[in-house]
Structure 1
């Protein structure tokens, strides 16, 4: 992974085509709709009047969901096509969301501390993920809530492996390696890397969630998605910054 930099990753993700952004504009994709969003919203609780940073906000769908629930939202996104899409949506239907085009690792001026920071499906795509996580926790008020989601390191490529074998198989868990995707590259890191680094940043864990797909949702999804009813493809971590 030595040839990867944040700048290179940002440039690659920032070329996501308009059609893909439109398809995920309302509430993300199938997995986000049924697995990630419900857990994120539950962990955040009542967001009315709370100042929330959506770190790596992508097309802005989560920022829009949070603003609709009464939060004061700032969305940070470095990728050009992603940022432009989010900003256009806000200009067309204003919700009071402030979008900032920046790499969070550059510590842009976001206007003061936040009650909560959400970083959903971002850290696996960031080469300098440790500094990105540090930037998220530094943006919090003392006692503030940090929630991040990642592909579950134990079951990252669950869907295609399950379709091929009817079970999950892995052989490289402890290594770091690239996982190429249609719009960019993710990087596998063991679960302990994320959790241990979080603890070094002065945070304490409050909850780990490993959502399972409800069978009724699996029945409406694509072929092989029933794997998600048996094993978790996503890990959701909630922590608070020490006062």
Structure 2
């Protein structure tokens, strides 16, 4: 089998990385990401991840997009809610969101879910989505815990993450001597989508599947459904969609 679609990898595996450094990376790439998605170049974002999330999302009063980036998906899911909130620590991404994806029903905040949840005195939201954001959080449990704190009981939580079994193969670091599927670590690499490479560094975290599941269970977001998502040009799944109900 071949996993060469993303081009030669420039990958570095690290034990961890701070949120502030990761946020600066996403500040730098925010404009490129908006262009890739709005132009249609990012097929996975537009035709795999977004439709999968929308398929699972019912109409609610109040919805939050945790790790909303430039707000492109927030604006799409806002049609399912009376009020929508987008959260992201990248100020450059939020600035784009407020310019390109503004709506009277949407409010954007340039802060992490941990910061936002700390300011909340009680649960507010009926549903939350998190598209490929949990894998950028240095503290996975804190990310999910913050998400749970702002959700009402029985609220829907939908998250997409890199498929831990196949993403290392697609990105080319499964063969790295330091790679251990059963451990969590930071992966630095030049950001790529199928139709476009870049020289801009981004970081995501590899976590084994049982870590995602146990982290969600541990904060009161037990997984009730799992879907594997592939996309055009890929034989095996690249993403996981995890659906939870707040308890």
Q: Secondary structure at the match of 2:237?
A: coil
For these two proteins, the number of residue pairs brought into alignment is 219
Aligned partners of 1:117 and 1:139 also within 8 Å = no
How far did residue 71 of structure 1 move?
Answer: 4.2
How far did residue 109 of structure 1 move?
Answer: 4.2
Matches within 5 A, 1:41-56: 41-45=54-58, 47=59, 49-56=60-67
Q: Secondary structure at the match of 2:29?
A: coil
Distance in 1 between residues matched to 2:41 and 2:81, nearest whole Å: 20
Aligned partners of 2:17 and 2:186 also within 8 Å = no
Quote the residue 2:113 is aligned against: 104
Q: Secondary structure at the match of 1:65?
A: helix
Quote the residue 2:7 is aligned against: none
The counterpart of 1:178, out of the listed 178, 186, 210, is 186
Aligned partners of 2:187 and 2:206 also within 8 Å = yes
Quote the residue 2:42 is aligned against: 29
Q: Secondary structure at the match of 2:128?
A: strand
The counterpart of 1:198, out of the listed 213, 216, 221, is 216
Question: Structure 1 residues 103, 27: CA separation in 2 closer, same or farther (over 3 Å shift)?
Answer: farther
Distance in 2 between residues matched to 1:26 and 1:81, nearest whole Å: 19
Quote the residue 1:113 is aligned against: 124
Distance in 1 between residues matched to 2:41 and 2:93, nearest whole Å: 13
Quote the residue 2:68 is aligned against: 57
Quote the residue 1:39 is aligned against: 52
Q: Secondary structure at the match of 1:14?
A: helix
Aligned partners of 1:78 and 1:101 also within 8 Å = yes
In structure 1, list runs of 5 or more residues that go unmatched: 162-167, 219-224
Question: Structure 1 residues 187, 3: CA separation in 2 closer, same or farther (over 3 Å shift)?
Answer: closer
Question: Structure 1 residues 18, 192: CA separation in 2 closer, same or farther (over 3 Å shift)?
Answer: same
How far did residue 27 of structure 1 move?
Answer: 7.4
CA deviation vs aligned residue, 1:122-147 (integer Å, no higher than 9, x gap)? 01111122101110111111110111
Quote the residue 2:10 is aligned against: none
Matches within 5 A, 1:1-243: 1=14, 4-25=17-38, 29-45=42-58, 47=59, 49-91=60-102, 94-106=103-115, 107=117, 109=119, 113-159=124-170, 172-181=180-189, 182=191, 183-213=201-231, 218=232, 225=233, 228=234, 230-242=235-247
Q: After superposing the two structures, state which structure 1 stretch, 10-19 or 24-33, moved more.
A: 24-33
Q: Secondary structure at the match of 2:34?
A: helix
How far did residue 190 of structure 1 move?
Answer: 0.4
Q: After superposing the two structures, state which structure 1 stretch, 105-114 or 204-213, moved more.
A: 105-114
Q: TM-score, normalised by structure 1?
A: 0.80
By relative contact order (CA 8 Å, sep 6+), the higher-ranking structure is 2
